[in-house]
Structure 1
């Protein structure tokens, strides 16, 4: 017999096991004055479609738990079987049926449960995916930040309406993710004070949600914020905090990102040994990663290509620009096209590595392609700062070179345009 795929999907999204769903349904039944008799076997019968239409109270409880109708959960009512009754005079029969409808239907409508549940979680998460797709192309900006904060507010409003702790935790998780997205947008735009406020809020919400994935995301952004502020010891501490989150023990992809971020912190402190050791841990963890694991959209940027790009940063900062150049070329050959902003950042890193080898002409040519990659979009603040670093190093290393002066003219023109 075909299983109930709709209920299976809803349980997976809500994080319910069979016994946990039975407990949630029974809790709703007891709350409304009915004995909770749903067992693990009952849920199994629903999942296998052996039981296609639970009785009314169970259906109402399921609707409250998941926030959608029983039909949307894959249940189907049986064909109606009309009872055989003795015909009565039309007026008496009509009055009786009307009275019955008022007595039975009206209370059921008044007592219907709140519709806040899994369907709301799914809808809100789909909004996150759209924001992350926009970030991949354009980078952080105020419009994205405002949209993310609006999504967080929407999720938190629904927390107050949800009847069950499981759904409230899911909504807190979504709110934390939206707030972390707002923080990331502010960070990419180099709005550091706003970034700090959003990250503090996101970490609180992640704690309320008991969501280690969002916790790791927040610590990863804290490390980047500390770097932008020049607080490199704090960046290492934040990277270590990311490594300590529970998700790194369950999914090596997240562990790899945490180690790579820590490696950058060590390289900024000039600790070559620690930086290379952390890169080794990141590579080792990445080798254990399965592509089949379901993960949130914000982590889609990270993989072998991004680790290679981060390796280029570390190698340039510890004094190996030739290896940094090679790593940048490898990264650019494999970073997916949709990650336009990340490709532009990796291209700027390549230009820096070339410049640090005194290959001024090639470095300026490479850096100029960044403006072409981001054509049609303003340069995010973080990218503008990195290009400013290139310009500063260019003036320091080759102040009189004609190509440097030409690139400087274009840099100032593009800066004023964006």
Structure 2
């Protein structure tokens, strides 16, 4: 078995560690609509020569990162494997992707640059849909965040060469949404400082793109981040900023989402009347919303089921645990199966409402379902934090309960496995 010196040299020249190369390849895979499956071990197998010809998808992503063919990186095509007949991807895009995902210094491409058009916007938007689907299943994580930032950087690079103001605005809008995706991934992973930075950048890009939907998306995430950071009055402010965006006047669904976020903020600051008033506005707007209207994929999570899940949070916060439990049951009956992370969070909220009614055994049983729902995937930071809230309330309300002690043992075990 002979070591792959060419790949090692390419990594050294680009300043990439094994972990950074794995992240860069995974980011490319995710942008192309595939799962990021490359690990440090994968890279070691490539370097030691144990893997002489990578899997096709991984090989294409690796070629895109370095901007050259696999053979130039020291890999050997099996005799039975035919040579490719399609044109390789533009070296401009490959080298740019390397810069965007790793911040490595590469030699600039000299020569005529390809024309930027609507097809570039369509391609980049399809990458957004792939990231949204990955988030719905697994939740926020670093590879998703990196991929989103790479997409934003590519959109901004293309914007510089766009032929018309209209096309430049569309690319700014795409960049805003990729940056918002990165921000949301950081929010879900409980990386609040990075999330805050990304959100501020996304808000600027949304303004440059004159995109009120992206603006609302950013304020929605700002409201959630403020709650996570304990900045409850800022959560109210962000929810009200979302209400003020132009899109809420023409699409009741977005208006409903903005009012629902504001309701959470009001409940956190102890404003029961304000929370219920905002919930009422959210419900009224939901009734008026059209289900067949075309909307961006990121908002697919929000509908009657998610509003019920938010209602459960608000009612639990204002002391109505019975009403919160009823809303949680209705939410779980309606949340689509593909939103696995959202179902797990709604299940955990149900457990909290049961716990706050002193139904210890049922609450522990319900909370245990979270681990089954997320089996096979690491728990996002936001969910781990939520489990911490449940655990703290559990030991406060029932410190000597046998059921609570048993759940604590399992909680600690599952927590360590989920990290």
Tell me the TM-score normalised to structure 2 length.
Answer: 0.73
Per the alignment, residue 177 of structure 2 pairs with: 177
Alignment of structure 1 residues 176-255 onto 2, 5 Å:
176-255=176-255
Per the alignment, residue 337 of structure 1 pairs with: 337
CA distance in 1, matches of 2:113, 2:417: 57
CA distance in 1, matches of 2:240, 2:210: 19
Cα-to-partner distance string for 1:53-73 (whole Å, 9 max, x where unaligned): xxxxxxxxxxxxxxxxxxxxx
CA distance in 2, matches of 1:325, 1:350: 6
Per the alignment, residue 369 of structure 2 pairs with: 369
Runs of 4 or more consecutive aligned structure 1 residues displaced over 4 Å after TM superposition:
110-113
CA distance in 1, matches of 2:291, 2:388: 37
CA distance in 2, matches of 1:315, 1:196: 28
Per the alignment, residue 135 of structure 2 pairs with: 135
Alignment of structure 1 residues 32-111 onto 2, 5 Å:
none
Per the alignment, residue 278 of structure 2 pairs with: 278
CA separation of 1:406 and 1:250: change in aligned 2, threshold 3 A: same
Alignment of structure 1 residues 149-188 onto 2, 5 Å:
149-188=149-188
Per the alignment, residue 263 of structure 1 pairs with: 263
Per the alignment, residue 147 of structure 1 pairs with: 147
CA distance in 2, matches of 1:261, 1:278: 9
- Tell me whether 286-295 or 328-337 shows the greater mean CA deviation: 286-295
Per the alignment, residue 348 of structure 1 pairs with: 348
- 2:341 match: secondary structure: helix
- 1:203 match: secondary structure: helix
Q: C-alpha displacement at 1:254, in angstroms? A: 0.3
- 2:386 match: secondary structure: helix
- 1:407 match: secondary structure: helix
Per the alignment, residue 383 of structure 2 pairs with: 383
1:308 aligns with 2:325: no
Q: C-alpha displacement at 1:292, in angstroms? A: 2.2
CA separation of 1:116 and 1:284: change in aligned 2, threshold 3 A: same
Structure 1: 5+ residue runs without aligned partners?
1-109
Cα-to-partner distance string for 1:307-356 (whole Å, 9 max, x where unaligned): 00000000000000011001000000010000000000000000000000
- 1:279 match: secondary structure: helix
Cα-to-partner distance string for 1:145-204 (whole Å, 9 max, x where unaligned): 000001001101100111100000000000000000000000000000000110010000
Cα-to-partner distance string for 1:227-254 (whole Å, 9 max, x where unaligned): 1111100000000000000000011100
1:321 aligns with 2:321: yes
Cα-to-partner distance string for 1:206-231 (whole Å, 9 max, x where unaligned): 01000000000000111111111111
- 2:334 match: secondary structure: coil
Per the alignment, residue 62 of structure 2 pairs with: none
How many residues end up aligned between the 2 structures?
308
CA distance in 2, matches of 1:161, 1:288: 41
CA distance in 2, matches of 1:371, 1:294: 34
Q: C-alpha displacement at 1:112, in angstroms? A: 11
Structure 2: 5+ residue runs without aligned partners?
1-110
Cα-to-partner distance string for 1:364-405 (whole Å, 9 max, x where unaligned): 000000000000000000000001000000000000001100
CA distance in 1, matches of 2:252, 2:178: 24
CA distance in 2, matches of 1:198, 1:190: 13
CA distance in 1, matches of 2:291, 2:167: 28
CA distance in 1, matches of 2:400, 2:174: 53
Cα-to-partner distance string for 1:238-277 (whole Å, 9 max, x where unaligned): 0000000000001110000000000000000111111000
CA distance in 2, matches of 1:189, 1:278: 28
